Chain A
Amino acid sequence: MSASQANTSENTLYAAHKKIYPREVSGRFTRLRMLSVIVLLGIYYLTPLLRWDGRQALLFDLPARKFYIFGLTLWPQDFIYLAALLILAGLSLFFFTALVGRVWCGYACPQTVWTEAYLWMERKIEGKRTSRMKLDKAPTSAAKIRTKTLKHTVWIAFSLWTGFTFVGYFTPIDQLAAKLFSASLGPWETFWILFYSFATYGNAGFMREQVCMYMCPYARFQSAMFDSDTLIVAYHPERGDPRGSRRRGTDPKSVGLGDCIDCNVCVQVCPTGIDIRDGLQYECIACSACIDACDEIMDKMSYPRGLIRYTTENAAQGRKQHILRPRVMVYATILLVLCGILLTNLFLRVPLELDVIRDRNTLYRETREGLIENVYTLKILNMDSKPHQYTLTADGIDGMKLVTDEPEIVVPAGAVQELIVRLQADEFNMESRSVAVKFYLQANQANHLNTVEEARFVGPGKP
């Protein structure tokens, strides 16, 4: 890079992108991370295949406007529960960030998880870091084209599977598979499968750490949740500096050096290409690859492990550590309270809804017996997973009668039933021209399934 180029890239806020070739590492944290990646990918690809009560266990059925979450069926009216769930997820992210820093980034973020998977495929096909770098520098050759084609084919196949699974969360995946094999996928289903595949391919294959650096909102504001007791990955400068190479088995003090042999392995393994020895940086996703890498070097040099390690600012400075500090307590309290509210509401949720619409055409009628009659259309929504028979009653005016042509009210599971009912009352008992009346709907043999809905009853008014 020439001097003038270097100058512009300094002014652009975003440095010119240099491709990063993370070096392979092994060690305890790497094993933990791989375990997490495998478990999370397994959950993602297998969940849509689970069945429950003869249907897909987890299905956000957009066409039918119902969300099935194992035993629970959520309707658009229950949107608030999903919103609450999202808020809870956000809050737990706050809580865990304050406590253990960016573990989410390093172990569980889909960006990390899929990048690891794509990197693994890349390593299997193109080889280690040095061979990958050599391959990219090499002039175009038949062998290079073959390797690259293989890599992209595998990547694209995996992306397509990912996209298919994604759409399988929103339309029943068995039907989707059937349509796929009979080549009768709808245009929008096809579009979303391709869209999500393309996003996966681009994000995990190419964008990688740039997503974390330039696009992730969490990466930008996570530092707001940090304090001196948050777990971070850090280099120990007092122990490591001054850095310098030396022969194996040398006592660092005898040559006036610290424990860091300046081998740069920690930089080479870093998926975001930073040098952790420069201190805590917002690019660091706390993946702990550099910990494992440096520990291996320390073992080779027979120095104690932990020149780069998980620590907290307070611990690193030799100050007292506090796990339960006000910030953590506050996040935990809010989290618990919200969790409690959500669970109580979910538990008390009555999967039954009643809508009452007054007949718009006639205000009221007079029956042959001289009673005032109002007509209503009732909509009964049975959100339960079983059919139910209901009893309908009404009150509000002395001696009021409820008349309907239906002998019994039965609503199948997950269905809406319309019902025309008439209320008849003596004008003499009405206190004013328009009186509030109440409809009570009660499921037979299910005490908790009941609801009340208010309506107006209109008469000619007092003379």
Chain B
Amino acid sequence: MDVPVTDKIPHTQQAISVLWPSFLIAIVATGVFFSAFNPRDLIPFNLDIDISPLAAYSIGFFLFWVVAAISSYGTLYFIISNSRFLNKQNR
């Protein structure tokens, strides 16, 4: 069986395949999330922070991006380690 040697994908391409899809998902998630919730209502009552809406949206966006990127990285990690494993078995 021919197993693609996925771990030979250049590092920039690996980085793009993690950061790029998660970026797109983060945009969608931010849009959906903040149309349902006003950032002003999300600050717990006992906290007295004054945060501009733009800052709240931006931070929200980056949080979504990080979460989605972790998930993307997980996928990439499993693909690479599985392809190594299969290559070893096939040898």
Q: Which residues of B contact A186 (CB under 8 A)?
A: 52, 54
Closest to B24 in A: A217
Distance of A160 from chain B, by nearest CB (Å): 19
Residues in A whose Cβ lies below 8 Å from that of B75:
none
Contact of B38 among A12, A76, A191, A215 (CB under 8 A): A76
Q: What is the CB-to-nearest-CB distance from B86 to chain A, in angstroms, rounded to a whole number?
A: 15
Is B46's beta carbon under 8 Å from chain A? no
- With beta carbons under 8 angstroms apart, the residue of B13, B52, B54 that contacts A14 is B13
Chain B residues near A344: list those with CB within 8 A: none
Chain B, Cβ-Cβ closest to A8: B8
Those 5 A-B pairs whose CB atoms lie nearest each other, nearest first: A79-B35, A63-B53, A76-B35, A188-B54, A188-B58
Interface string of B49-87 (1 = CB under 8 A from A): 000111101100000000000000000000000000000
With A11-B5, A76-B38 as given contacts, are A63 and B52 in contact (CB-CB < 8 Å)? yes
B20 in contact with A14 (CB, 8 Å) = no
Given A63-B52, A76-B38; A13-B4 close (CB under 8 Å): yes
B17-47: CB near A (< 8 Å → 1, else 0) gives: 0001000100000011011101000000000
Q: Point out residues on B near A: beta carbons under 8 Å.
A: 4-6, 8-10, 13, 16, 20, 24, 31-32, 34-36, 38, 52-55, 57-58
B9 partner, pick from A14, A63, A65, A188, beta carbons under 8 A: A14
CA distance A191 to B54 in the complex (A): 11
Q: Is the pair A14, B10 in contact by a Cβ cutoff of 8 Å?
A: yes
Closest to B4 in A: A13
CA distance A214 to B24 in the complex (A): 15
Contacts of A189 in B (CB 8 A): 54
**Contact present for A188 and B8 (CB under 8 Å):** no
Question: What residues make up the interface of A, taking CB atoms closer than 8 Å to B?
Answer: 8, 11-14, 62-63, 65, 76, 79, 82, 170-171, 186-189, 191-192, 214-215, 217
Contact of B8 among A11, A65, A170, A192 (CB under 8 A): A11
CB <8 Å contact, B54 and A65: no
Interfacial chain B residues near A13, Cβ < 8 Å: 4, 6, 9, 13
Q: Are B16 and A214 in contact (CB under 8 A)?
A: yes
Give the distance in Å from the alpha carbon of A12 to the alpha carbon of B13 in the complex: 10
Cβ contact within 8 Å between B8 and A12? yes
Known: A14-B9, A188-B58. A62 touches B53 (CB 8 A): yes
Q: Give A189 to B38 CA distance when docked, in angstroms.
A: 19
Q: How far is the CA of A188 from the CA of B32 in the complex (A)?
A: 21
Shortest beta-carbon distance, A134 to chain B, in Å? 28
B32 contact set on A, CB distance < 8 A:
79
Within the assembled complex, what's the spacing in Å between the Cα atoms of A191 and B8?
35
Which chain A residue shows the least CB distance to B58?
Answer: A188
- How distant is A90 from chain B, measured CB to nearest CB, in Å? 12
Given the known interface contacts A12-B8, A14-B9, A14-B13, the answer about A188 and B55 at a Cβ–Cβ threshold of 8 Å is yes
16 A-B contacts (beta carbon < 8 Å): A12-B5, A13-B9, A14-B13, A62-B53, A63-B52, A76-B34, A76-B35, A76-B38, A79-B31, A79-B35, A79-B36, A82-B31, A170-B54, A186-B54, A214-B13, A217-B24
Q: In the complex the two chains form, is A12's CB within 8 Å of B9's CB?
A: yes
Q: Are A76 and B36 touching (Cβ within 8 A)? A: yes
Inter-chain CA distance A170–B31, complex, in Å, is 13
Q: B6 to chain A: which residues have CB within 8 Å? A: 13
Task: Return chain B residues, CB-CB under 8 Å to A11.
Answer: 5, 8
Nearest A residue to B38 via CB reads: A65
Q: Which listed residue, A76, A191, A214, touches B58 by the CB 8 Å rule?
A: A191
Asked if residues A215 and B5 are in contact (CB atoms below 8 Å), the reply is: no
Would A63 and B54 count as touching, CB distance under 8 A?
yes
> In the assembled complex, how far is the CB of residue A19 from the closest CB belonging to chain B, in whole angstroms?
15
Interface centre among B34, B36, B54 (most CB of A within 10 A): B54
**Cα-based distance from A191 to B61 in the complex (angstroms):** 13
Which B residues lie within 8 Å of A8 (CB)? 8
- Is B16's CB under 8 angstroms from A188's CB? no
Q: How far is the CB of B17 from chain A (nearest CB, A)?
A: 8
Give the chain B neighbours of A191 by CB distance below 8 A. 58
Give the shortest distance, in Å, between B25 (CB) and chain A (any CB): 12
Q: How far is the CB of B31 from chain A (nearest CB, A)?
A: 8
